[in-house]
């Protein structure tokens, strides 16, 4: 970003007349990128400690937050407009898909995130009134004007509905949807930003994924549909809990869901290992059951999106980034797992990689090389038996994924529809690694794999099987509100 530094000259020199006569050197990004990528290889830390709660940072900070609160739509535009909101989303996305996110870029994005204060109580109330037709104190029996958490383009308030249900109300910043929609149309600039943020990635694939996903986040009704679908699919599940959407209090810019208790990720870390293992098992089951059976994948595996209860029960929050797959998109993923883990057929595995578009067909590589390179992603599920997922393993997965020096890497790409899937490997394993979670992941996978349908592998598996036996079997497409894939 040398240019940006040069531009500082224009900024700084507003009142001066100091002009260079000389040519600058070639201002190249590449060299810096390479250095930063090398630095980043040292290890990937999952941003588990990123504070999402305003209240988490102490009284003084809270006071500052209130003093800085966004009071008008203009304040919102100044803070999140002109690409800044989109840059934050790019950062969120890139942090999951690329270890090449340089410390400088990472820092810029973190600061950008810090620069967003909450809405003032009055501004948030105005949005609620516009959306629900009544100010919050009339639309709800009780309304807490102080937000409890930041959401991606809004904030969350606690409230009690007129019929007495405790709810979390997500309120979108006013005017931001229009701004972000306009920013998403500046494809040329987005490509440049993505090239800088995630140089190792296929920019076109990232770009279309970014536009689709962020575009969807602008309308909370889409998120509500995903949340309803998953809540219905897991209704009554012994450990997976999805808060119910309160439809009559949800609109494009307001999303009201049942309020859930539970502790945050940071507190879970202090629980006994047995509890952490159970929580990890629930997360694992949720991710892969959703993928294989609901054909939906929550693409935001942020630790802030979970609330933990004793006995392995986990509440899943925030469905703004749910990706819905078509059966055709899902099939190659199943084929890959089946061929490498169950059939142990390297050639068939390679063929399924090619079918999915991960591996260029006819690449001049020995199949053995391909398998060795990619099998790391299946290490946890190739053999039965209890296995502990460590942070080191999680980092190894990430490093392997982004190992551009390996000869195989040149022939691998991530097709558009699977960009978000990388977060399974990166985000999920980062979380499981953080928990040092132990389980027989292979046996659990066999339970879930549609091409195996193995017996219950754990007590949680038995409870899940009993739950499944109690409810009518039906696929996601029978739910009338199921969002379309794509």
Partner 1 sequence: MTESGAAVPAHKELVSLTDTTVTTHLYTSATGLIERSAAAFAAGVPEGADDDGFFGPASVTWRMSADLAAPVAGLRSLLVQALHPLAMAGVDQHSGWRRDPVGRLAATMAYLTTITFADRTAALRAAARVRRIHDHVRGTDTVTGRSYAAGDPALLLWVHGMLVDSVLAAGSLVGTALSAADSNRYVAEMVTAAELTGVPRPLVPSSVPELDLYIASVRPTLRCTPAAAESMTYLLDPPGLDEDTAEIWRDVRDAAIAALPRWARHMYGYGTPPALTPGRRTEIRQSLGVLDAIFLSQPDVLEARQRITVRMRAARPA
Spatial distance between the Cα atoms of 162 and 322, rounded to a whole number of angstroms:
30
Spatial distance between the Cα atoms of 60 and 448, rounded to a whole number of angstroms:
48
Written as six digits, the tokens of 77 are 């535009």
Looking only at residues 391 through 410 of this chain, which bind partner 1 when binding is defined by CB under 8 A?
Answer: none
4 touches partner 1 (CB under 8 A)? yes
Strands 154-160 and 142-143: antiparallel
188 touches partner 1 (CB under 8 A)? yes
Q: Which is nearer to partner 1, 120 or 244 (CB)?
A: 120
Among 300, 318, 335, 440, the active-site one is 300
Q: Which is nearer to partner 1, 33 or 442 (CB)?
A: 33
- Residue pair 290/424 in contact (Cβ under 8 Å)? The answer is no
Number of residues interacting with partner 1: please give it, by CB under 8 A.
57
Looking only at residues 74 through 93 of this chain, which bind partner 1 when binding is defined by CB under 8 A?
Answer: 78, 81-84, 87
Give the range of 93-101, 180-188, 292-300, 451-459 binding partner 1 by CB under 8 A: 180-188
Greatest Cα pair distance, the chain, in angstroms, is 80
DSSP, residue by residue, 340-377: IIIS--HHHHHHHHHHHTSB-TT-S--HHHHHHHHGGG
Distance in Å, CB of 105 to partner 1, minimum: 9
Q: Supply φ then ψ for residue 100, to 5 degrees.
A: -80, 0
- Residue pair 285/467 in contact (Cβ under 8 Å)? The answer is no
Looking only at residues 220 through 259 of this chain, which bind partner 1 when binding is defined by CB under 8 A?
Answer: none
Distance in Å, CB of 321 to partner 1, minimum: 22
Distance in Å, CB of 169 to partner 1, minimum: 25
Looking only at residues 21 through 40 of this chain, which bind partner 1 when binding is defined by CB under 8 A?
Answer: 21-30
Q: Which is nearer to partner 1, 190 or 426 (CB)?
A: 190
Q: Of 9, 38, 134, 404, which lies in the binding site for partner 1, with binding defined by CB under 8 A?
A: 9
Q: Within a 10 A sphere around the Cβ of 1, how many other Cβ atoms? A: 14
Residue 398 burial by Cβ neighbours in a 10 Å radius (0-12, 13-18, 19+): buried
Written as six digits, the tokens of 368 are 């053995």
Strands 387-388 and 322-324: unpaired
* 300 given a catalytic annotation: yes
189 touches partner 1 (CB under 8 A)? yes
Q: Which is nearer to partner 1, 47 or 64 (CB)?
A: 64
13 touches partner 1 (CB under 8 A)? yes
Handedness of CA 185, 197, 149, 255 (dihedral sign): positive
Written as six digits, the tokens of 347 are 């050639």
x-or-dash string of contact with partner 1, 39-68, rule CB under 8 A: -------------------------x--xx
- Residue pair 467/236 in contact (Cβ under 8 Å)? The answer is yes
Spatial distance between the Cα atoms of 326 and 329, rounded to a whole number of angstroms:
5
Give the range of 17-25, 426-434, 451-459, 472-480 binding partner 1 by CB under 8 A: 17-25
7 touches partner 1 (CB under 8 A)? yes
Q: Which is nearer to partner 1, 90 or 242 (CB)?
A: 90
Q: Which residues are catalytic?
A: 300
Site of interaction with partner 1 (CB under 8 A):
1-30, 64, 67-68, 71, 78, 81-84, 87, 107-112, 114-115, 182-183, 186, 188-189, 192-193, 195-196
């Amino acid at each position: 970003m040398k240019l940006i530094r040069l531009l500082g000259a224009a900024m700084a020199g507003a009142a001066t007349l100091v002009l260079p006569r000389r040519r600058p050197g070639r201002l190249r990004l590449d060299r810096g990128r390479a250095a930063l990528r090398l630095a980043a290889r040292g290890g990937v830390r999952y941003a588990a400690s990123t504070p999402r709660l305003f209240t988490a940072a102490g009284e003084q900070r809270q006071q500052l937050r209130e003093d800085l609160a966004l009071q008008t739509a203009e304040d919102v535009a100044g803070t999140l407009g002109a690409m800044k909101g989109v840059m934050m989303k790019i950062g969120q996305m890139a942090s999951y898909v690329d270890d090449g996110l340089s410390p400088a870029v990472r820092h810029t994005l973190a600061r950008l995130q810090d620069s967003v204060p909450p809405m003032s109580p009055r501004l948030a109330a105005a949005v609620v009134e516009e959306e629900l037709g009544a100010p919050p104190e009339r639309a709800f029996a009780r309304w807490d004007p102080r937000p409890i958490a930041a959401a991606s383009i809004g904030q969350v308030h606690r409230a009690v509905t007129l019929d007495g249900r405790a709810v979390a109300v997500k309120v979108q910043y006013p005017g931001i949807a229009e701004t972000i929609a306009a920013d998403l149309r500046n494809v040329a600039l987005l490509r440049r930003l993505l090239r800088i943020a995630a140089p190792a990635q296929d920019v076109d694939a990232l770009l279309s994924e970014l536009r689709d996903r962020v575009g969807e986040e602008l309308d909370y009704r889409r998120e509500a549909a995903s949340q309803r679908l998953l809540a219905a699919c897991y209704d009554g599940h012994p450990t997976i809990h999805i808060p119910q959407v309160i439809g009559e209090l949800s609109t494009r810019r307001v999303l009201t869901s049942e309020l859930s208790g539970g502790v945050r990720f940071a507190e879970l870390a202090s629980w006994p290992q047995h509890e952490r293992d159970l929580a990890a098992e629930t997360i694992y089951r949720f991710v892969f059951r959703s993928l294989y059976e609901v054909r939906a994948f929550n693409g935001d595996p942020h630790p802030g999106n979970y609330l933990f209860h004793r006995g392995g029960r986990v509440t899943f929050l925030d469905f703004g980034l749910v990706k819905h797959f078509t059966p055709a998109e899902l099939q190659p993923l199943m084929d890959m797992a089946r061929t490498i883990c169950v059939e142990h057929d390297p050639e068939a595995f390679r063929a399924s990689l090619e079918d999915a578009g991960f591996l260029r067909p006819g690449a001049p590589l020995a199949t053995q090389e391909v398998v060795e390179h990619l099998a790391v992603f299946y290490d946890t599920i190739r053999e039965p038996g209890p296995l502990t997922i460590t942070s080191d393993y999680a980092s190894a997965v990430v490093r392997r994924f982004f190992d551009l020096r390996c000869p195989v890497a040149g022939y691998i790409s991530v097709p558009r529809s699977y960009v978000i899937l990388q977060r399974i490997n990166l985000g999920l394993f980062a979380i499981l690694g953080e928990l040092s979670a132990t389980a027989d992941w292979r046996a659990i996978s066999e339970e879930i794999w549609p091409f195996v349908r193995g017996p219950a592998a754990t007590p949680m598996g038995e409870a899940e099987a009993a739950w499944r036996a109690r409810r009518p079997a039906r696929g996601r497409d029978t739910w009338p509100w199921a969002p379309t894939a794509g």
